[in-house]
Amino acid sequence: MKSRRMYASLAALAVAGGSLTLAACGSSDSSSDTSGGGGANLAGKIAIDGSSTVAPLTTAAAEAFNGKNPDVNITVGTSGTGGGFEVFCKGETDISNASREIKDDEAAACKAAGIDYVPVRVASDGITLVTKTGVDVGKVCLNFAELKKIWAPGSKVNNWSQVGSGFKDLPLALAGAGSESGTYDFFNETILGEDAKGDVIQSRQDYSASEDDNVTVRAVSDAEAGLGYFGFSYYEANTDTMQAFAVDGGKGCVEPTTDSITKGDYPISRPLYVYVSKKALARPEVKAFVNDYVDNAVQLATDAQFVPAPQSSLDADKKTLSGS
């Protein structure tokens, strides 16, 4: 008897679960049925993966494109620039977001699989060096030699006064990107360069490292006179608690601003790319999406609080796209 009652209530639970499922079904199926409004009548699937830094911008582009072409289904994943290229070169994705250029071994993998691609620069980013608002470490500009001294492997610098003359006697707490992040790779490549064997020198590891730049933001704002680095968008979102250093890459001190990063005057600025498979580009929906993305890149970047790509490079990419 008892067990029968138990089975009965299990069944009831299953039914309840099922009806909940159905109810949830009903509420949103209407949204996917609003198709048919697009003028070009494009349809299909576009699979995108790669850098989580570029993902919000590509997401914005996909959203805008989907508004005009509701039958095109676009997905965006965030398995990182390297992880993205891995599946891209297997032909699993059509477009790969990248916060750096494709590496030689990745390009070789693509070539081996017969995947030909076009890199399209969609935005820019500047690695911004920051400390807490209101802290005076003695200087407002850091040059590459000073940065190298701080971040070099084995460096024991833990006070601003050790960085060079003109800096005050303040404890220096470091924070930055974790080793899985493209930001980390790019920072090391630019500041520390390569060793004799041609490998990028890895920075010291005894700092507060995180893949999540918001953790770095917090680490810097908690430190008395810390130094942290992250993408420019994170600085823009935290200008009330952070102040940025100007950086001297040999041509004088340059403040990180939208303008100086777009132009490339700011010495630690990098382009952000989407890599488009040529095979996918032959499909009308992919071609339309990428063209739409490039046409609206500046507006999309501004809206999503990215630093736009220079118009000249956008024009050049547009020409390449129409050629291929």
Partner 1 sequence: MSTAENSTPTPAAPAATVRPLAKKRARPSEQAFKWLVVILTGITLAMLAWLITSVVLKGAGSLSWDFLTGKPSANPAKAGFNSALRGSIVLMIITIAVAWPIGVAAALYLEKFATQSAALAERRLATKLEATTGGAMRAWLHTRLWWLRVRPKVVHLVDVNISNLAAVPSIIYGLLGLAIFVGIMGIQKSLLAGGLTLAVLILPIIIIASREALRAVPVSIEQGAMALGATRWQAVRRQVFPAALPGILTGTILAVSRAIGETAPLIVVGGIVFGTAVPSLNPLDAGNEALFAMPLQIYFWTDQPQASFQAIAAAGIIVLLATLLVMNLVAIILRNRYSKRW
241 touching partner 1, by CB under 8 A: no
Cα separation, 139 vs 266, in Å, equals 18
Q: CB-wise, 43 or 321, nearer to partner 1?
A: 43
Work out whether strand 242-244 and strand 117-132 pair parallel, antiparallel, or are unpaired: antiparallel
311 touching partner 1, by CB under 8 A: no
Stretch that binds partner 1, among 61-69, 111-119, 165-173, 311-319 (CB under 8 A): 61-69
Contact criterion met (CB below 8 Å) for 124 and 308: yes
Q: Which of 233, 269, 277, 313 binds partner 1 (CB under 8 A)?
A: 233
Q: CB-wise, 143 or 233, nearer to partner 1?
A: 233
* Residue 95 CA from chain centroid, whole number: 14
295 touching partner 1, by CB under 8 A: no
Cα separation, 262 vs 69, in Å, equals 30
Strand partners, 272: 123
Tell me how many residues contact partner 1 (CB under 8 A). Answer: 47
Q: Which of 101, 189, 236, 248 binds partner 1 (CB under 8 A)?
A: 236
User: What is the DSSP secondary-structure string of 146-172?
Assistant: HHHHHHSTT----BGGGT-TT--S-B-
Instruction: Take residue 323 and report the two structure tokens written for it.
Output: 């050629």
Contact criterion met (CB below 8 Å) for 223 and 111: no
Q: Residue 47 carries which DSSP code?
A: E
Binding to partner 1 (CB under 8 A) within 110-129 occurs at: none
Q: At closest approach, how far in Å is the CB of 96 from partner 1?
A: 13
- State which amino acid sits at residue 245: F
Cα separation, 283 vs 44, in Å, equals 9
Q: Which of 38, 73, 149, 310 binds partner 1 (CB under 8 A)?
A: 73
Q: At closest approach, how far in Å is the CB of 4 from partner 1?
A: 9
- Number of CB atoms found within 10 A of residue 153's CB: 12
Q: At closest approach, how far in Å is the CB of 206 from partner 1?
A: 24
Whose tokens are 């890895």? That residue is 202
Stretch that binds partner 1, among 62-70, 112-120, 149-157, 167-175 (CB under 8 A): 62-70
25 touching partner 1, by CB under 8 A: yes
78 touching partner 1, by CB under 8 A: yes
66 touching partner 1, by CB under 8 A: yes
- Reference 85, options 109, 121, 62, 53; nearest CA is 109
Cα separation, 228 vs 208, in Å, equals 9
Q: At closest approach, how far in Å is the CB of 40 from partner 1?
A: 16
Q: Classify 48 in phi/psi space as left (phi over 0), alpha (psi -120 to 50) or beta.
A: beta
Binding to partner 1 (CB under 8 A) within 157-216 occurs at: 211-214
Q: Which of 109, 305, 310, 318 binds partner 1 (CB under 8 A)?
A: 305
Contact criterion met (CB below 8 Å) for 289 and 72: yes
Cα separation, 97 vs 95, in Å, equals 7
Stretch that binds partner 1, among 66-74, 123-131, 138-146, 269-277 (CB under 8 A): 66-74
Stretch that binds partner 1, among 19-27, 194-202, 264-272, 314-322 (CB under 8 A): 19-27
86 touching partner 1, by CB under 8 A: no
Q: Which residues of this chain interact with partner 1, rule CB under 8 A?
A: 2-3, 6, 9, 13, 21-22, 24-25, 27-28, 31-32, 49, 52, 55-57, 59-60, 62-63, 66, 70, 72-79, 87, 92, 211-214, 231, 233-234, 236-238, 303-305
